[in-house]
Structure 1
Amino acid sequence: MANMETLVQRLEKAVLRLETLQPSGGNEVGSSDEVAPYVEAFDELLAGPMATYYKLSIEIGGDVATHANMVNEALKFQRGFLVTASQCQQPPEAKLTALLQPLSNKIVQIQEFREKNRGSKQFNHLSAISESIPGLGWLAITPKPGPYVKEMTDAAMFYTNRVLKEYKETNKKHVEWVKAYISFWSGLQAYIKANHTTGVSWNKSGKIATVSAGSAPPSGGAPVPPPPGPPPARAPVVSTDDTEISRTALFADLNMGTDVTKSLKHVPDSNKTHKNPALKTSAGPFASGPKPFKTATPTVKPAAKQDPPVLKLEGKKWVVEHQMNASNLVIQDTVLRQVVYVYKCTQSTLTVKGKINSITIDNCKKMGLVFEHVVGTVEIINSKDVKIQVLGNVPTISVNKTDGCHIYLSKDSLACEIVSAKSSEMNILIPEKDDFVEYPVPEQFKSVWNGQRLATTVTEISC
């Protein structure tokens, strides 16, 4: 009987796997009757926690079931890609991007489904999937795909914890759903460590990988998202202004002192017009009027590449980047340990709800920020025309290298310390009755040596 029960369980798992991995209609990257060992190991992962996740998703129904079918399609492609890798040599980067394009499209589809269903009663389920699903992009990550998957798994934990909190006393099926889903990602990390430690293991003696019609990239498609990280370093600004160059050269010459004349050539008297009048008549007439000039051909500069807008939680950091004309950006469901980093956003407004650790606005223009509570610091740097409104409290606001900053304080945040440097057009607005009264922040100072130290005071013109 015990052997019979074991056999039945194995058959059930096999059926679940077959249900989960239905025919993909030609969208798989590759297929073969012979399966490599690491493909078999991936199949075991699918037949285990992922099959359980899929089964429970269908039973829960609603948006969770719809989402699970999308995840199923992405996993079908992932398996097909691994089959191709086991049979083929690693292709060049351009072809690899084309091979991974269907997976990229699926990841985007899964994330967009969450965004289109923010009013769903199963929003926390959808968010857990949406935040972690980029982990399937480990296929394009080298040399450490495992840590990348771990980071994506951590991004889901905030929402899976909310699911557990909501259902642990009322519906155990949702609790099992969370366990199965997280177990899949933990298993995937172990699988990658065992089989693809530094990246996908291609067959060095295999054939050349080709892009089938079903996996060809659509026009204008985006590649698989790269792993999260700090924003790219910005190159220092190098001035090419002629005046600046001339000024630099002038100072260099002045620093030479009397040696500056050493490079000058001596002019003999025979070549001086005031000592040799004949030179005046022999020289050609001076041209009157402006010299003719050639019309310069205007140089058409290529349009600057616009980076895609980003609003997502990466581990403990909410990343908001490259938003343009977005007036209703909202970050909610925050926890105390999280931070917000806003980078290169223009003419946009961001609202941060709840209590959070810190907020940084970097290199933004015409940016509005509304937040409730910050326990650390709100920092504005390298920005222009920024408006900040405090609804709750904040201990410190720092303004650096910023032109145009209006800060609206609440009654609970009047004790806030505002530190500024290399900034202009700063105003603090204090609530009085039903309105705000504006107070400018001094920009001009007077410093005097008093015999013991340098005494600095605000000048009257700046008050």
Structure 2
Amino acid sequence: MADLQNLVQRLETAVGKLELFAGGSGAGSCAAGDTAQFVKAYDALLNGAVGEFLKISKEIGGDVEKQAGLLLAGLNIQRELLVKASQFQQPDEKDLSALLAPLSKQIQTVQDFREKNRSSKQFNHLSAISESVPALGWVAMAPKPGPYVKEMTDAATFYTNRVLKEYKDVDKKHVDWVRSYLSIWTELQAYIKEHHTTGLSWRKTGPKAGPSTSAPSAPCAPRAGPPPPPPGGPPPPPPPAPASASAPSDDSEARSQLFAQLNQGENITRALKHVPEDMKTHKNPALKSQSGPIRSGPKPFTSPKPTNICSPAAKPAPKKEPPVLELEGKKWKVENHDNASNLVISDTELKQVVYVYKCVNSTLQVKGKINSITIDNCKKLGLVFEDAVGIVEIINSRDVKVQVLGKVPTISINKTDGCQIYLSKDSLSCEIISAKSSEMNISVPGSGGEFSEFPVPEQFKTVWNGDKLVTTVTEIAG
């Protein structure tokens, strides 16, 4: 029996080796022509869209060329992971984290380059790459890696639009740069849809991958020279992992008391008074019926009570994800909170960002100076923050109220219905950028301490003047 078992093991090993070197099933040298099909497809992406992007980046030069080199390094690290996936079975979770660590580190390096060059004349270019480079983390996303890449690509739109606006009539090369950069992620989505629809495709047989498995030979795609040495910075964050359900460590009672004091408005919203009907500037009288607690008293953000809305057709209830409030790397994650009126982030640093996702009937306070804040897919959310050195974005949301206590340079509203912004005296120079949104109102403090509310235009008129298109705001009499 022992001899028979040994024979069976030897046969299994032999079969594994045959499968490994069968045409199209494993990754080896490109000359031998036995590279896995999905690795070959990835090489085509590197030679095509990525190659074009690197060429234009080199022509532009400066910080753009340097950061493009860092992005290329991340793409090459990802290729090495794809080759391992074609050679080995999916590893255990612990080993998978170790395999993903180099890619996670390189993503952080690309983002750190933007942070260390905020004074660069090419800052919008750097920001476009920095905001979307987490898309390389699709290899750890299942079962929807493709939509994750699209979500990260959309995050770059604000900055790519800025590049287009700045250079469209000045230097066409930068317009081509935007086109070539976005095409990388568009083609990557198509690649994922064809080869890794529900997640990274690992080999079905053979040994499991691990940190000690040998790295593949140099990639088939030509490298555009060695990337510049990555700038120094803080230790890299851990590789992407499923969101933790851990709760914040702050004492719940103390946090509730703190937020209750904020809602009293002392030294913050004391001057917030009711705006009489004859002082409102709505272009549509129907909007007057949407007044909420934030307009009628010193409590700008009282979490509204949930209402029962009967849908015409019964649908299965979506799976309830656990609430999250935690710091992961330099990102504060606030996710899946429902009817939470005492969410507070107090221990902040300038390099940190806040990402608020799928929160309903909740209120969040962010203390201190933060880099940027993103509100995504939220309903009836109230946000109070002190200072943001970057952008505050509101995306795919409804009935959001935001109060600025200090300064913020830019607020972006995209695909959002119902957004009330309260500016402070220090933030009156803030740029408000909106697209595909409705029911947006900006309240500004006056000399008498009262807030005056102004609607953001939603309707425009465009005419041809014989030379070019001229667009003006259309007022609707009501």
TM-score scaled by structure 1? 0.51
Within 1, Cα distance between the matches of 2:27 and 2:208? 14
Alignment of 1:442-453 (within 5 A): none
AA at the equivalent of 2:99 = L
Q: What does residue 329 of structure 1 align with?
A: 370
- Change in CA separation of 1:213 and 1:109 when aligned onto 2, cut-off 3 Å: farther
Within 2, Cα distance between the matches of 1:193 and 1:125? 28
Q: CA deviation at 1:179?
A: 1.1
Q: Residue 32 in 1 paired to residue 28 in 2? A: yes
- Change in CA separation of 1:176 and 1:73 when aligned onto 2, cut-off 3 Å: same
Q: CA deviation at 1:309?
A: 3.9
The one of 331, 345, 348 equivalent to 1:310 is 331
Q: What does residue 414 of structure 1 align with?
A: 450
Q: CA deviation at 1:152?
A: 0.7
Alignment of 1:31-70 (within 5 A): 32-33=28-29, 34-70=34-70
Alignment of 1:210-229 (within 5 A): 210-212=210-212, 221-225=236-240
- Change in CA separation of 1:412 and 1:370 when aligned onto 2, cut-off 3 Å: farther
Q: What does residue 184 of structure 1 align with?
A: 184
Q: CA deviation at 1:389?
A: 6.5
The one of 387, 401, 417 equivalent to 1:349 is 387
The SS at the match of 1:151 is helix
Q: CA deviation at 1:32?
A: 2.4
The SS at the match of 1:89 is coil
Within 1, Cα distance between the matches of 2:214 and 2:178? 33
The answer on whether the counterparts of 1:89 and 1:205 sit within 8 Å (CA) in structure 2 is yes
Within 2, Cα distance between the matches of 1:93 and 1:110? 25
The answer on whether the counterparts of 1:322 and 1:344 sit within 8 Å (CA) in structure 2 is no
Q: What does residue 87 of structure 2 align with?
A: 87
AA at the equivalent of 1:170 = V
Q: CA deviation at 1:177?
A: 1.4
Q: What does residue 228 of structure 2 align with?
A: none
Equivalent residue pairs, number: 290
Q: CA deviation at 1:162?
A: 1.4
CA shift digits 1:171-195 (9 cap, x unpaired) = 2221111111111110000000000
The answer on whether the counterparts of 2:382 and 2:401 sit within 8 Å (CA) in structure 1 is yes
Give the RMSD, CA atoms, in angstroms. 4.9
Q: What does residue 218 of structure 2 align with?
A: none
The answer on whether the counterparts of 1:392 and 1:410 sit within 8 Å (CA) in structure 2 is no
Within 1, Cα distance between the matches of 2:122 and 2:48? 24
CA shift digits 1:92-141 (9 cap, x unpaired) = 11111100100000000000100111111111110110011000000000
Q: What does residue 458 of structure 1 align with?
A: none
**Structure 1: which 5+ residue stretches go unaligned?**
1-29, 241-303, 315-319, 381-386, 398-407, 418-463
Within 2, Cα distance between the matches of 1:352 and 1:338? 21
Q: CA deviation at 1:71?
A: 0.8
Within 2, Cα distance between the matches of 1:396 and 1:143? 40
Q: CA deviation at 1:239?
A: 9.9
The answer on whether the counterparts of 1:369 and 1:389 sit within 8 Å (CA) in structure 2 is yes
The answer on whether the counterparts of 1:352 and 1:370 sit within 8 Å (CA) in structure 2 is no
Q: What does residue 115 of structure 2 align with?
A: 115
The answer on whether the counterparts of 1:142 and 1:198 sit within 8 Å (CA) in structure 2 is yes
Q: What does residue 75 of structure 1 align with?
A: 75
Q: CA deviation at 1:325?
A: 5.5
The answer on whether the counterparts of 2:421 and 2:441 sit within 8 Å (CA) in structure 1 is no
Within 1, Cα distance between the matches of 2:137 and 2:370? 26
Structure number with larger C-alpha Rg: 1
The answer on whether the counterparts of 2:27 and 2:86 sit within 8 Å (CA) in structure 1 is no
Within 2, Cα distance between the matches of 1:411 and 1:354? 26
- Change in CA separation of 1:416 and 1:189 when aligned onto 2, cut-off 3 Å: same
The answer on whether the counterparts of 1:391 and 1:410 sit within 8 Å (CA) in structure 2 is no
Bigger mean CA offset, 204-213 vs 387-396 = 387-396
AA at the equivalent of 1:223 = P
- Change in CA separation of 1:307 and 1:58 when aligned onto 2, cut-off 3 Å: closer
CA shift digits 1:280-338 (9 cap, x unpaired) = xxxxxxxxxxxxxxxxxxxxxxxx986544389x9xxxxx9665255543659x9xx99
The SS at the match of 1:159 is helix
CA shift digits 1:224-281 (9 cap, x unpaired) = 3469x9x96969x9999xxxxxxxxxxxxxxxxxxxxxxxxxxxxxxxxxxxxxxxxx
Q: CA deviation at 1:168?
A: 1.8
**Structure 2: which 5+ residue stretches go unaligned?**
1-25, 216-233, 254-324, 336-343, 351-367, 431-439, 454-478
Considering Cα pairs closer than 8 Å and 6+ residues apart, tell me whether 1 or 2 has the greater RCO.
2
- Change in CA separation of 1:396 and 1:103 when aligned onto 2, cut-off 3 Å: same
Q: What does residue 128 of structure 1 align with?
A: 128
Q: CA deviation at 1:351?
A: 6.0
Within 2, Cα distance between the matches of 1:107 and 1:203? 26
The answer on whether the counterparts of 2:370 and 2:387 sit within 8 Å (CA) in structure 1 is yes
Alignment of 1:185-204 (within 5 A): 185-204=185-204
The answer on whether the counterparts of 1:390 and 1:409 sit within 8 Å (CA) in structure 2 is no
AA at the equivalent of 1:324 = T
The answer on whether the counterparts of 1:39 and 1:79 sit within 8 Å (CA) in structure 2 is yes
Alignment of 1:264-279 (within 5 A): none
The SS at the match of 2:153 is helix
AA at the equivalent of 1:32 = G
